[in-house]
Structures are given as structure tokens and as C-alpha cells.
A and B are shown apart, each in its own frame.
Chain A
Amino acid sequence: DAKTTQPPSMDCAEGRAANLPCNHSTISGNEYVYWYRQIHSQGPQYIIHGLKNNETNEMASLIITEDRKSSTLILPHATLRDTAVYYCIVGSGGGADGLTFGKGTHLIIQP
């Protein structure tokens, strides 16, 4: 079973910030929080990951709570092309251990 809980779907208006929550209350101390997204029938795309600190890159920001039991992915200015299924994953992430994908959040950007 996936170790994360995400809302099944969310809507966001184009141009606004999209905030996607994720609960991971059983995360271990050495596990990362990863976010990937999958646009219809394409391969998943890496977005961002973090261990303890908040992270930002050109695509998004990741906010991890101090107790690490939850996190939020922020897309600062959502566009229609951001419509996708977003997966929050906890684990080592590197590939050797395999990623455990849950059902993710289907984010729909409304024009």
C-alpha cells in the first residue's frame, strides 16, 4: 500500500497558485518526499523532492512540515499544461528500491 494520502482531484484557475497536499504520517527519518506528475498516458515526470527542508526549483516549491508528516506542492502560476495526475511518494527515491505510487491527485486547471 502507498504510504501517502492525497485528495483524488482538485481544480485550480489558470494563473493562480495550485497547492497540492499530501499526508505521509508514517514517513521514516531517512525517507524523502518526492513529487512526480503524469500527463495523460505519458511517462511520469519528476517535479521536486526534499528530505527535511523546503525546496524550490523552476517548476515548483515543496513545503514539508516540521514533523515531516505532511507536505504541500505549490505550482506558483498554474497553466493549462499543468493539468495532470500528481503523485506524492515517500521513500529513498533513487530507483534501486522502487517507487511506490499511490492514486495521486488529478489536478485540473480551469481556463
Chain B
Amino acid sequence: KAGVTQTPRYLIKTRGQQVTLSCSPISGHRSVSWYQQTPGQGLQFLFEYFSETQRNKGNFPGRFSGRQFSNSRSEMNVSTLELGDSALYLCASSPSGRAGGELFFGEGSRLTVL
């Protein structure tokens, strides 16, 4: 069974640009959540999607958005990039996102903002 796939793995952008990151969950998983990891703040929850609906959102500005498609694949978008958005963005999937379940993380997309 293929794991969680994130693309691209590495990318470089400049301030003010926007970026879209993609996540393909494990087959059959309908819950996809996104996390940002920086050296200063550690791993922080961005948002979670289930059946194309955002169910929960972390404490991030509106420049961070996401969506989920009918095949459960998800994308996240960051607009008007700032230097502080440089981070490892991680996607995780689970069958339903229900309590007591485990998350399966991808390898991440490393974004550098210059």
C-alpha cells in the first residue's frame, strides 16, 4: 500500500509569491490534515479536511488555505509569501480522523522563501 505522497518535495519562492502544495493520502483514507514545522515553533496544526469539508483549523492567518477533492487528495495554498513561511509542510492522512486513530505522515514539502 503506497504511503502519503507529497509534492513537490522542495521548492524555493520569493516574498510576495504564492505556492500550492499537494498531498495524496493513503488509498481509502478520507481525512487529510496539514502541519507546518519550523525550528522556532515546532510542529503546528494548520487544518484538517474530511469529505471535501474543512472540519478544523489551527491558528494561522487567512493566507493559508486548503481544499480537498472528491478523491481525497488535498492541496494547501499560501498566498503573499513571507520569509517566516519557510518551513517543512507535512500532510497526514487517516481513515476517518476519528478519535483514537493514528495519523500517517508524508515526507513533507520543504519551502524556502527568499
| B64 close to A (CB within 8 Å) | no
Are A43 and B105 closer than 8 Å at their CB atoms? yes
Q: Which of A25-43 contact B (CB under 8 A)?
A: 30, 32, 34, 36, 41-43
Question: Is A96 touching B102 in the complex (CB atoms < 8 A)?
Answer: no
| B89 shortest CB reach to chain A, Å | 10
Q: Is the interface of A mostly helix, strand, loop or mixed?
A: loop
Known A46-B102, A46-B104, A49-B102; contact A95-B42, beta-carbon cutoff 8 A? no
Q: Of B33, B90, B99, which is within 8 A of A98 by CB?
A: B33
The answer to whether B108 and A94 touch across the interface, beta carbons within 8 angstroms, is no
Count of CB-CB pairs between chains A and B under 8 Å: 83
Which of B88, B102, B106 is packed against the most chain A CB atoms within 10 Å? B102
Q: Identify the A interface with B (CB < 8 A).
A: 30, 32, 34, 36, 41-46, 49, 51, 87, 92-103
Measuring CB to CB, which residues of chain B are less than 8 angstroms from any residue of chain A? 4, 31, 33, 35, 42-45, 48, 50, 55-56, 58, 88, 90, 92-94, 96-108, 110
Q: Can you identify 18 A-B contacts, CB atoms within 8 angstroms? A: A36-B103, A41-B110, A92-B99, A92-B100, A93-B102, A93-B103, A94-B31, A94-B94, A95-B48, A95-B97, A96-B50, A96-B55, A96-B97, A97-B99, A98-B58, A99-B103, A101-B42, A101-B43
